[in-house]
Amino acid sequence: MFDFLRRNQPTPKSIERLVKRLTESGGEDGPRMEAAEKLAEWSTPEALYALLKRFTMSSKVMTQDVEEKRHVVRMLVRKDQDAIDPILRFIKRNHQVEWPVQALAQILPREELVPKLVEALDYVGQGEFTSPEHRTSLIKAMHGLVTPEIAATLKRFLEDSDDDVRIAAIHALAELGEDMRETLIDAYLESEDRPRIRIAVAEVFADREWSVKGFRPKFEESLPDGFLLNAKGMIRRR
């Protein structure tokens, strides 16, 4: 019995062969999806991690590419708990995180999802070798999922060395509403030498019609070109 089970377990080489087919950007979708189905059928942690590599490339036909990725998300969701650890490992190692986060959000209830996302943000944010692209992509993948717990971690990205990361954090935090007003005001005031950050905060305040009450003089003397303050202390585009 155990010999039979071992014979039906994928080897690293067999997984590698399927990954090569799965990530071939040219040609028809048939071979890619056949490889995806086989990896899902094997359903080992390494096979499911390999399945996630479909998200690392884009096929030449955009509509086909999106549909394939949706199909892979459905495969992962059907694996339920078995897919959680491979997804988290992939998120921590790769910057193509939008689709994996979607899959995780469909598998886990919110009370279990939030700690996993905080864990991933902490790992990527503190990783010595993670790229700005990875940090930015993961923050953007939080769209629609931000909670106070996630926001507490996102605030640390407002001090990131990369402007794109900071801007992604600004927009993610803004999802929590006006509770984030003073946090973003602080980010604005502390970014005297980072004009892109000030523009991003000004855009958020203009779009959401938030007031800068209590900080008007500082904003009047520093608003980027293209913005003004009205009589109620709200930022407007010129």
DSSP-assigned letters across all residues of 166-182: HHHHHHHHHTTGGGGHH
Give me the pLDDT at residue 109, please: 97
Share of the chain above pLDDT 90, in %: 91
Residue range 76-85: mean pLDDT, rounded: 98
Q: How confident is the model at residue 1 (pLDDT cuts 50, 70, 90)?
A: very low
In the block, residue with structure tokens 């990783």: 127
Summarised one tens digit per residue, pLDDT across range 165-217 is 999 999 999 999 999 999 999 999 999 999 999 999 999 999 999 999 999 99
Residue 2 predicted with pLDDT over 50 = no
Q: Which pLDDT value is given to residue 128? A: 77
Checking if the pLDDT of 5 tops 50, the result is no
Report the pLDDT value the prediction gives residue 127, as an integer from 0 to 100.
83
Average pLDDT of 106-129?
95
Total residues belonging to the chain: 238
pLDDT at residue 4 is higher than 60:
no
For the residues of 178-228, what is the DSSP string, one character each? GGGHHHHHHHHHT-TT-HHHHHHHHHHHHHHT-B-TT-HHHHHTTPPTTEE
How many Cα atoms are found within 13 Å in the side-chain-facing hemisphere of 236?
8
Is the pLDDT at 134 greater than 70, yes or no?
yes
Predicted model pTM: 0.92
211 beta partners = 234
Q: Cα separation of 153 and 49, whole Å?
A: 26
Residue 107 has pLDDT above 50, yes or no: yes
Which pLDDT tens digit goes with each residue over 22-69?
999 887 778 999 999 999 999 999 999 999 999 999 988 899 999 999
Confidence band (pLDDT; 50, 70, 90) for 104?
Answer: very high
Residues whose CB falls within 8 Å of the CB of residue 69, separated by 6 or more in sequence, listed in order: 54, 55, 99
**DSSP bridge partners of 55:** none
What confidence score (pLDDT) does residue 8 get? 66
Residue 164 clears pLDDT 50, i.e. is over it: yes
Which among 148, 144, 145, 126 is positioned nearest to 135, based on CA atoms? 126
Domain boundaries, the chain: 1-108
Q: For residue 84, which of 55, 108, 68, 56 has the smallest C-alpha distance?
A: 108
